[in-house]
Amino acid sequence: MLAGIAALVALALTAAACGSDTSGSGSGSGSTSEGSLTVADAGFTESKILAEMYAAVLEKAGYKVERTSVQQTELAQSSLESGTVDAMPQYVATYADLLNTKVHGSTAPSVSSPDLQKSLAALRPLAEGDGLTVLDPAAAVDQNAFAVSKSFAAQHHLRTLSDLGASGQTVKIAAGPECASRPFCQPGLEKTYGIRISEIVRTGVDTPQTKAAVKNNTAQLGLVLTTDATVSDYDLVTLTDDKKLQNADNLVPIVNTKSLTPKISAALNALAPVLTTADLAELNKKVDAQREKPSDVARAFLKDKGLLS
């Protein structure tokens, strides 16, 4: 997942005070007799929303929760391992490969797969080796997705990526330059689906420019994300990844094992069965397009699902 990887390798660290971007976050929480915890996000919208959800359910469970934002990969990992950060949202497949590379080096083969259970089976022992516990993953998954215009889809009878490959159409793809070498982008589309790609139009991953390029036919295929709720706003449709090229990047709480208690597990695991990809897309849209605060969006969602009073 290009977005998850991009977020993991960002080069800055910011620290937010407990009250930063969390207006009203303490209202309705339980007692603070359970102690204090620090929850971190990775500095981008989706991660901030998830971290706010974690904080809210932990507050309800009786913890005093501080928020922080850690955008640099190595610092986020060391903070989790040391317990400076107690919990943080991650992505199953991307995090498994990150820890595998940390342990076995940059040339180690990938341990993740499109199968969630296989990716979890690879991730859990790697995390345990670093003193971390992997809790229950949500159904919500943030993956690469590929969109075409509705008119292009109708013209060539496209619903899946296999349909595009079988159509024999040669397409330009709007994406980041790294698409040329990433196995889940151009090489994977060509190998797995037989899609003919003549050029990469360098507009980035899931940017407005990428979606506009496909809408305007500057490119016929665009790299978007499964948690982007604005794709249809550009009169685009996402083609189904029917051969499961993309890995299982489900959202999952990672917790320092020494900090973990049954109450923490119960609070965070309650999110797993209620958070879907469509939910996450809508929540991202509320923050990015409608300018709502991540804390407000997170708490409204939790109340709607009965996880907060």
pLDDT digits (tens, 9 = 90+) for 21-44: 433 344 344 444 789 999 999 998
**In this structure, which amino acid lies at residue 241?**
D
227 has a pLDDT exceeding 80: yes
pLDDT tens readout for residues 46-101: 999 999 999 999 999 999 999 999 988 899 999 999 999 999 999 999 999 999 99
14 has a pLDDT exceeding 50: no
Mean pLDDT of 294-301: 98
Structure tokens at 110: 């990938």
Q: Is 304 exposed, middle or buried (0-12, 13-18, 19+ CB in 10 A)?
A: exposed
Q: What is the structure's pLDDT at 17?
A: 35
Query: Do 251 and 42 contact (CB within 8 A), yes or no?
Result: no
Structure tokens at 263: 């109450």
Structure tokens at 19: 């009250």
Q: What is the structure's pLDDT at 18?
A: 36
According to CATH, where is 3.40.190.10 located in the chain? 2-141+248-304
pLDDT tens readout for residues 175-214: 999 999 988 999 999 999 999 999 999 999 999 999 999 9
- pTM of the full predicted structure? 0.83
**In this structure, which amino acid lies at residue 216?**
N
According to CATH, where is 3.40.190.120 located in the chain? 144-239
Q: What is the structure's pLDDT at 20?
A: 36
Share of the chain above pLDDT 90, in %: 84
| 15-24, 35-44, 288-297, 298-307, range with the lowest pLDDT | 15-24
Residues 6+ apart with CB under 8 A from 206: 3, 223, 224, 225, 228
May I ask the CATH architecture of the domain 2-141+248-304?
Answer: 3-Layer(aba) Sandwich (3.40)
Class of domain 144-239: alpha beta
Q: What is the structure's pLDDT at 22?
A: 38
